[in-house]
Structures are given as structure tokens and as C-alpha cells.
Amino acid sequence: MDAFTQWPRRAVRGGTSLAILITALLLAGCRSSTGADRGPSKPADDCNGPCVDWGDDGGNRGDAKEGVWEGGRDSAADQSCVPQPLSDTIPEGWEEYPAMECQYRLYVPSSRDYLPPPLVWEPCTSSIGQLPYDCRQIKVDWPSFEPAPYALGGQHAAYVDSQGKAILQIRKVYQMSRGGILYGYMGMTVEADGPVRQAFWRDYLPEPPGHQITIGFRHPSAGKTSWAFVEWVGNYPYRKAPFGGDDTLLRPPILFDRMQSDPDVASVIPGMGFYLENSRQMRVFKWDGTEMGIAAYATSAYSPPQWVGDTLLFALQSSPNYRVLRWTEHDGTKILVGADFGQDDLRGAANPGSDGNDLVWFQGEGRDDDSAAYSTRWVMTSKFTTDPSEIRPRRLTRLSKGVIISGSLLPPVGCGYAAFRYDDGYPKPEERGLLVVRLSDGVSWKLPSLGPGDGWFPAIAITCDEVFARYSGPSARFETIRRVRLDSLGPGIPPSE
């Protein structure tokens, strides 16, 4: 048994008009390619311990050397904390990464030799007997009491690399007491069937009542990841001190800190050549810190954005207006799907997904009131393009009446398939689950939930062989990631008209 399947070291210690909205978007798009760099910001003044002065040029670069800042945006690294003696909970061979403010202490492997072992997969557990498809889930081989609903914490994310490998971004929760009082967090980027690429440790530390700091993450893509400290005050999460870059860096640089941008909600969506600061505006930056402009304002009015190469894909989702959008360095933000709707708010397009080859989105038609529910919903597809005039919408399959903007509908796309969670009759367990759609002909497969309290969460990745999705409930014994082979799903359901 290695150090990562037991406690890491020793015993633990104790509604606007469409015209106005689109005008705002186009104005935002015109700011593309400004090339403006941020000036230096004042050092953080709330460090509660001895701090290190990193100098006046503390910026960030996702492609910079590990732990080295070469220009770009200023960060809290200008006032970093001196490392403290390691506690008994820190994994062997790890060290403190002194790039955060004092309350955000982070630990990393001192070399790649100390990265944790790969994930272990086991057959999916089920309360209904043998499943009718080939299914595996992550095995909890680290300390966590049963039942362990939070052995894997957070909204796990994934992407498929150029070789077709599923790369997962997860957070393990180490729990040493049944009451869940003493534990630590290990965030990692790991190949589903290969080595861990990067990992981080955060001790659980006593915090004021209603206050907690964890490690969070956002939508990895194209060999890039981003992380952030999520500071919970009551039930509200504040994302602070995002850091990220290449997904193999052991010490990803700080991208910006809570003293900049919107300190309450800012997070980073990483892409190949750019990253997005997703706060009250969607601001695009090159990895050297050069600001490229604002892709959109009032981010709460939009779907979670994703990078498709160097194109930002997202949707305006402000009732009654729903349109698929894209941002490029060349000409900023444009309507990609739905420009031909004009002022017709009885039609909408939302929740897009793409792998760079195919584009998938949800389209609604007909509404009786101002609600977001449409009488008819379609899963739509087209070959991916950034040119709105080249979009060729094609219906795949029809869904029952409902909304088109649920977070569960965000579809990962890959190898001619898309997947998302469906919900046709909650709370009946047989009427909710995971739906996989083949883009060539609209044939689909439904994977229902396995019993009361069980549930598929959004799919996170799809390869040529498998679909990966979050799952939680008594059948799983804990929240986990499940992977299902596509060739084990059977003949499928013909597309509905």
C-alpha cells in the first residue's frame, strides 16, 4: 500500500430586448485585439504572516517555466508567504508552493517522481443487479469512510486530447473521521488510463464557522487546465487566486488574484492560445497576459463558455432571447446560430458543445408564456464553423417539452457522438438519466438512473469508445465518475420527429 492509498504521511492531527443585447455584444466584440496590458497592481496588504517580495514584475504565463512569472498580469505572488514546516498530512516528497496569499497554502510534488499513482477503476455498483451495458467507475482507494458521498468532491471536468485520451480533472477528498471533520483535498489532472499529469494538496484547516477554503477547477481543454481556491462563506462560493497553464506543470503560475477583476466570482476558462477571465465580464487574455478584449458583458446571461481551439463558444441565455455565440480574435463576438430568428422569441438556441468537427446545440420552438420552457425541443447539429453563413442546422432527435438552458444539457461532443443528461419526468427514476446521440443519424441511447436517489449528472467527455459522466446516489455509494462503452449500448432508439 503506497502513501496515497492511506493517509498521506502519518496519523492525522485534530429580460432585456434582443436588439440592445446584441448591440452590447457587438460593441464588446469590437474590443478584440486591443493588445492592452494591465499595469501593475498594488501588492496584497492582507497577508497575515511573513511574506516574500517577488519584485515589481510578478505577472503570469501559462506557458512560462514552472513557478516563474515573466511579465503579464500582476498577482498575489508579489506578497507570497514564507513556507511553514510541513504537517504530518502532507504527502511524502511534497513541498509548499509559496505563490499564494497566506490563507491559501498549497502543496505540490517536489518532482514528478512524487506524483500520485494512476486512477483505479472498478465495475459500476448497482442496486438492481447486473447492468445492461459495460460500465466502470473510479474506485475509492484513499481514506474515506463509507458511505462516502464526497470522496470525489466538486464538479469534475474532462477533455479529450489529440490522441483520443480522456483527461480528467478531479478532486479527491481524504476523510479520516466519520463526522468528516478531519481531511484534506488532492486536486489532480490525470489520464483516465494513464499517469497523473499534475497534483495539488490542500490541508483542511480550521476556519471560522460557515467559512471553508477548497481547491476548485474549471473546464480543461487542449492541454491546459486552471485551478482556483474556492472560499465558501455560508453557502456562497468565492473563487480566488486562479492559477493554471499547461496541464503538466507542477507549479502553474498565478493568473490573477482576488485583488483584481471581480474578486467575488472570477474564474478562468483555459484554451489553447487564450484564457477567459469569467467574472462580471468575459475578458479574453493571451497566456502572456495580453488582454484581447471583452467577449461579453453580464456573464450570468450566458451559458458556461468553452474553448474550441482558439474559438470561444457560448450562448446568450437571457429570457426570452436564446442564441448561440462565438468569439474569435479576428472579429470578436458574433451570433453563430439564431441570427435568422430575428425578433422571434418563440424560437431559441442554447447550450452549445463542439469538438471542433461537429457543433451540437439545443433548439426550442413555441412558448405559451415568458418561461424558458418550450413546447418542442430538438437536439441539433451542424459541422463546426465560425462563419454563421456556413451553419447548416440538422435535427437529430426530438425531446419532450422543457427548457433548453439547463446546465445538465451541456453536451460533450466527440467522434460523431454527443451526450447529456435528460429529465423527462422527475422524480420518476426511469424517466431521467443519460442520453447519448449519434450525430450521423440521430439514433440515441438512454441510460436511466438506477433507483430512488440515484442520478446521472452532466456528461463530461466522450471518446470514440466511451462516454464519461458524473454519477451519484445509493447505487454508487458515493459521487463518482462512470465510464460506459458505446459498443455495449445495444441497437439504440430511432430519432423521433
- pLDDT recorded at residue 8: 56
Residue 435 has pLDDT above 80, yes or no: yes
**Which is higher by pLDDT, 483 or 457?**
483
In the chain, pLDDT over 90 holds for what percent of residues? 41
Rounded mean pLDDT of the chain?
Answer: 77
Other beta carbons within 10 angstroms of residue 20's beta carbon come to: 10
Q: What is the 3 state secondary structure string of 92-107? A: CCEEECCCCCCCCCCE
Other beta carbons within 10 angstroms of residue 496's beta carbon come to: 13
Q: Is 491 helix (H, G, I), strand (E, B) or coil?
A: coil
**Which is higher by pLDDT, 301 or 401?**
301
**CA separation for the pair 447, 429 (Å, rounded):** 11
Please state which of the ranges 334-348, 436-450, 475-489 shows the lowest mean pLDDT. 475-489
Please state which of the ranges 145-149, 206-210, 283-287, 381-385 shows the lowest mean pLDDT. 145-149
- pLDDT recorded at residue 372: 67
- Residue type at position 349: A
**CA separation for the pair 431, 139 (Å, rounded):** 27
- pLDDT recorded at residue 225: 93
Please state which of the ranges 136-150, 159-173, 255-269, 337-351 shows the lowest mean pLDDT. 255-269
- pLDDT recorded at residue 177: 59
Average pLDDT over residues 156-179: 85
- pLDDT recorded at residue 17: 53
Average pLDDT over residues 482-490: 96
Residue 454 has pLDDT above 90, yes or no: no
Most confident of 56-70, 77-91, 271-285: 271-285
Residue 402 has pLDDT above 80, yes or no: no
Please state which of the ranges 255-269, 389-403, 415-429 shows the lowest mean pLDDT. 255-269
**Which is higher by pLDDT, 82 or 40?**
82
Which secondary structure element, helix H or strand E, spans residue 25, and what is its range? helix 18-29
Please state which of the ranges 100-104, 297-301, 312-316 shows the lowest mean pLDDT. 100-104
- pLDDT recorded at residue 34: 37
Residue 259 has pLDDT above 50, yes or no: no
- pLDDT recorded at residue 77: 43
- pLDDT recorded at residue 50: 26
Q: Could you give the C-alpha distances from 21 to 195, 333, 357, in angstroms and in order?
A: 45, 12, 29
**CA separation for the pair 45, 101 (Å, rounded):** 10
pLDDT band at 487; cut points 50, 70, 90? very high
Average pLDDT over residues 419-442: 80
Residue 413 has pLDDT above 70, yes or no: yes
| Rg (the chain; Cα; Å) | 23
- pLDDT recorded at residue 57: 27
Residue 10 has pLDDT above 90, yes or no: no
**CA separation for the pair 445, 493 (Å, rounded):** 6
- pLDDT recorded at residue 24: 52
Residue 32 has pLDDT above 50, yes or no: no
Residue 53 has pLDDT above 80, yes or no: no
**Which is higher by pLDDT, 124 or 381?**
381
Instruction: Summarize pLDDT for 316-349 with one digit per residue, the tens.
Output: 988 788 999 999 999 999 999 999 988 888 889 9
Question: Which residue(s) pair with 376 in the sheet?
Answer: 365
Question: Which residue(s) pair with 199 in the sheet?
Answer: 188
Evaluated on CA atoms 189, 195, 199, 201, the torsion sign reads positive
- pLDDT recorded at residue 65: 43
CB 71 within 8 A of CB 287: no
**CA separation for the pair 310, 153 (Å, rounded):** 30
